[in-house]
Structure 1
Amino acid sequence: MIRGIIIAVLVIGVAGTAFWGYQEHQEKNAILINAENNYQRAFHELTYQMDMLHDGIGATLAMNSRKSLSPALADVWRLTSQAHSDVGQLPLSLLPFNKTEEFLSQIGDFSYRTAVRDLDKNPLTDKEYKSLEKLYEQSAEIQDELRTVQNLVMKNNLRWMDVEMALASGKEQTDNTIIDGFKTVEKNVTGYTEANVGTTTFVNNQKKENNFKKLKGKNITKDQAVALLRKYSGIGESKDARVEKSGKGSEFEFYSVSIGNGGTDASMDVTKKGGYPIWYINNRNVKDAVISLNEASRNASKFLNDNDFEQLELFESAQYNNIGVFTFVKTIDGVRIYPDSIKVKVALDNGQIVGFAADEYLRNHHDRETAEPTISIEKAKGYTSPNLKVMEERQAVIVNDLNEEVLCYEFLGMMGKDTFRIFINAQNGQEEKVERLKSTEQLY
């Protein structure tokens, strides 16, 4: 009797385990099938977008009407964005494919910059037409390579999940048609980017970043970097000071420094050239607020002046828990230079500086000769919406969508219950940027 019960229990257990295993297997297969379908969709859409991109570039070459050229180039920009999105959905993170993405960025950047400019006043140059012709030829080669891979995928029922597993296991060197095809594309595109070096039409996304190239001063040592962090944090001598130098792949040289005294830990990245702090954080427990935002802003302003960050004006302030966050921008003769911005965090329990970020300032700050406006502020105001009730107005330098610094008239105004900041180009009256402010912070 007992033996029969035990056997029955074992049979039920085995059956239950088998059923559970079957369900797990089915669920796993469903996930794999869904992932494979998404990969296949992204790949075939990428191939289709490259077909359309090649046709779109060819169409722009055949156009003679500037009225048609701008929307055609805008469509090319749209297609490059979609192709970028499709590449991002493929399991290629472990496969070098950055040159192809960079090439797509170059096409998108060129087409966007050209589409948004006034082609009646500034038509395409012969050099730009030659660049378009080169892009047309190069996109045709990429199109052919992707079509070849697509044909093999469909003919041999190849799976993208095999690609993902091969890349994850480091076995991409083995024979894999998809991987080999994409490596061929990447190899060809590498040749394109090398051939395009020096072509001023193209603006590489990486070149848009100034990468701290405008910094002045001599190189500092690791000990000097530690001393700078001690100065900012107020932490005296401690045995656990740690300094790491940036790696070889870094776009600029810097030190990462961290120190602590038990109750407080502080960290900072500081440039090797000139010893400029990029960011600083003091990780300590901030108690209940005692000082006001107004007093904290004065502490932040004094901190910047004491550390040779001059001609900065408070632009925005906000309070998060017991910390005040302040944004300062460079101001020269009443003109705000928005690219030169610094953020400072102040603890409201004692007014100590607990955070600092000067990344934007260090990338963009340089000696400028600000152009004089060619239109009056009253004329510029006429380019804003008649429904906008202007409260403040000033001159400002901003970075527009073409990554160019432009002198603007800045208008801060109300429309209903919403607050907007509008920038009108001081040279041609073009509306460069419109921002809706989520909230305004009042100093107390």
Structure 2
Amino acid sequence: MEKRRHWIAPVLIGILLVGAIAWGYNLYTINERYATALDNHYQRLFHDVKSHVENVQVGLSKALVATSKERNILLFSQIMTDANFAQDKLGQMPISHADIANTEKFLAQAADYSYFLIQKHLDGKDISPEEREALWSLQENSAMFNGELARLHDSMAESGYIYEAAAVFSKKDRNVNDKNEFQTSLTNLESHVGKTPELIYDGPFADQIINKKPEGLGNKKVSMEDAARIARDFIGGNKSTRIEAFEQGEDIDELRIPAYTFHLFQGNQKNDLPIYAGVSKKGGKLIWMANPRPIGKEDVSIKDAEKLALDYLKKHGFENMEPNYSLKYDGHILFNFAYKEDDITIYPDLIKVKVALDTGEIISFDASAYYLNHKDRKLDTPKISAEEARERLRTKFDIDSTRLALIPKGKNEILCYEFKGKYKDADFIIYINALDGKEEQILQLIHNENGTLTF
């Protein structure tokens, strides 16, 4: 019996030790798989950004030599799509929004300037020499952007760069000599893109509109500590949530909405995935949030995702928001919500919410347009009736719905009747000025399995 006692204890210790080693190895394996999945996700995003920017450059080059308005309309439509996709996917990369502000602005301008020229062609007008010069400037920037992305892609492929490390660790966690080549290259890119001359045209992303002062923030200044608390509360964090400010760039105060920017870690492990967030320096509003986690198999319907997004907005104090358009890709769906006041849809007050379709989690939130434009408005009273506005439409335009909407146009906001309907089996939205009956805008709706786009 005594001998048995002597060997029982070592055996139990051995079993526990083997179990601990197995558990640790299993945890290590899971973490490795998760890190690999995240890195693959970022590699795909970077490749997609590169492809979309290449398409933008090719489209701009073709538009410069095309002589047909019809051909240009097709080219500008594709440029819009690729620039928007590039901007969205670049925003999901593990980098500071402040560090890519000029790049995002360039992509937004490329998309919106293309839209402006589409409208001009639809009005039967040619591109002026000044507009052709602006196009050439955009094309030069896209070519430079392309060259930098190609160089960066080749360099990181040769060095075995790990994107996931850029997402998880802040600069103070790395060796000082271990430069983040991805961040450095994009910062260099910013300095060149920032030299793009002003584009003066009638569109929501014109420089004179981008540089307007935010109207929905108020004037109260907040400290970084208060901003960190606001960010933690917004994402539903607790005392165990680690939060770190990250480098904002020397031109942070030149942004439309200067903000404190943070990494938030929900767990305690150093390799937990961060959530990114920006809180305005004035007003202390959470302007944007992004959770660039890998997305698994889709298990949430679009209808349920829309409800989750709407509930999320209500939870954070955004009442009277209505969904308008959506776009589904890469396992998530992006919803555009517009503010509604007195049964009038206020399009300038826009919030974008992205929902992961594996769990229904909100993985992105962008209220920059909302805070840029939201204010107490004295809305005009229509001077013509809906019936009078309807008389301005083509006779064979079959109307599905009619409502009042406030739409942006240059520096102004215009009250219009919004008519949705069909013409020869194609879906359109036509905006008729509710004060003078002028046709202000025509959008074509393109439906596919991923959602609805407007051109």
Q: TM-score range by the shorter chain?
A: 0.5 to 0.7
Q: Relative to structure 1, is the Cα distance of residues 168 and 116 closer, same or farther in structure 2, using a 3 angstrom cutoff? A: farther
Q: Whose RCO is larger (CA < 8 A, sep 6+)?
A: 2
* Structure-1 residue corresponding to 2:83: 80
CA deviation map 1:264-285 (0-9, x unaligned): xxxxxxx99xxxxx9xxxxxxx
* Structure-2 residue corresponding to 1:380: 392
Q: Do structure 1's residue 428 and structure 2's residue 430 form an aligned pair?
A: no
Q: Do structure 1's residue 362 and structure 2's residue 375 form an aligned pair?
A: yes
Which region of structure 1 is more displaced relative to structure 2, 179-188 or 402-411?
402-411
* Structure-2 residue corresponding to 1:183: 187
User: What TM-score, normalized by structure 2, do the two folds share?
Assistant: 0.54
For residues 444 and 213 of structure 2, the distance between their equivalents in structure 1, rounded to whole angstroms, comes to: 22
From 44, 56, 60, the equivalent of 1:57 is 60
CA deviation map 1:98-147 (0-9, x unaligned): 11111111111111222244444333221111000111111111111111
Verify the 8 A CA contact 2:59 2:75 in the aligned structure 1: yes
Verify the 8 A CA contact 1:113 1:402 in the aligned structure 2: no
3-state SS of 1:135 partner: helix
Q: Do structure 1's residue 66 and structure 2's residue 77 form an aligned pair?
A: no
Once the two structures are TM-superposed, the CA of residue 200 in structure 1 deviates from its matched residue by 4.1
* Structure-2 residue corresponding to 1:45: 48
3-state SS of 2:439 partner: coil
Q: Relative to structure 1, is the Cα distance of residues 48 and 186 closer, same or farther in structure 2, using a 3 angstrom cutoff? A: same
Aligned ranges 1:328-339 → 2 under 5 Å: 329=342
2:375 is matched by which residue type in structure 1? L
Verify the 8 A CA contact 1:371 1:407 in the aligned structure 2: no
From 95, 98, 103, the equivalent of 2:101 is 98
CA deviation map 1:12-62 (0-9, x unaligned): 100000000010000000000001111111112212222221111101101
Aligned ranges 1:290-301 → 2 under 5 Å: none
* Aligned-pair identity (%): 18
Once the two structures are TM-superposed, the CA of residue 422 in structure 1 deviates from its matched residue by 7.8
Verify the 8 A CA contact 1:407 1:427 in the aligned structure 2: no
* Structure-2 residue corresponding to 1:230: none
For residues 134 and 387 of structure 1, the distance between their equivalents in structure 2, rounded to whole angstroms, comes to: 41
Unaligned 5+ runs, structure 1 = 221-247, 254-270, 273-277, 279-315, 318-325, 331-335, 342-356, 414-420, 435-444
Once the two structures are TM-superposed, the CA of residue 370 in structure 1 deviates from its matched residue by 8.7
* Structure-2 residue corresponding to 1:197: 198
CA deviation map 1:123-182 (0-9, x unaligned): 322111100011111111111111111110112221112333453546596423222212
2:392 is matched by which residue type in structure 1? A
CA deviation map 1:358-382 (0-9, x unaligned): 996736559x899989x94462366
Verify the 8 A CA contact 1:74 1:111 in the aligned structure 2: yes
Q: Relative to structure 1, is the Cα distance of residues 110 and 430 closer, same or farther in structure 2, using a 3 angstrom cutoff? A: closer
Verify the 8 A CA contact 2:407 2:415 in the aligned structure 1: no
For residues 143 and 419 of structure 2, the distance between their equivalents in structure 1, rounded to whole angstroms, comes to: 47
Q: Relative to structure 1, is the Cα distance of residues 177 and 372 closer, same or farther in structure 2, using a 3 angstrom cutoff? A: same
* Structure-2 residue corresponding to 1:34: 37
Give aligned pairs, total.
Answer: 302
Aligned ranges 1:123-134 → 2 under 5 Å: 123-134=126-137
1:197 is matched by which residue type in structure 2? E
1:88 is matched by which residue type in structure 2? G
Once the two structures are TM-superposed, the CA of residue 430 in structure 1 deviates from its matched residue by 5.9
Verify the 8 A CA contact 1:329 1:340 in the aligned structure 2: no
Q: Relative to structure 1, is the Cα distance of residues 327 and 55 closer, same or farther in structure 2, using a 3 angstrom cutoff? A: closer
Verify the 8 A CA contact 1:53 1:79 in the aligned structure 2: yes
For residues 83 and 365 of structure 1, the distance between their equivalents in structure 2, rounded to whole angstroms, comes to: 37
For residues 122 and 188 of structure 1, the distance between their equivalents in structure 2, rounded to whole angstroms, comes to: 32
User: What TM-score, normalized by structure 1, do the two folds share?
Assistant: 0.55
Q: Do structure 1's residue 398 and structure 2's residue 409 form an aligned pair?
A: no
1:191 is matched by which residue type in structure 2? K
Verify the 8 A CA contact 1:47 1:146 in the aligned structure 2: yes
* Larger of the two Rg values belongs to structure: 1
CA deviation map 1:212-236 (0-9, x unaligned): 49x9xxx99xxxxxxxxxxxxxxxx
3-state SS of 1:141 partner: helix
Q: Relative to structure 1, is the Cα distance of residues 432 and 41 closer, same or farther in structure 2, using a 3 angstrom cutoff? A: closer
Verify the 8 A CA contact 1:39 1:160 in the aligned structure 2: yes
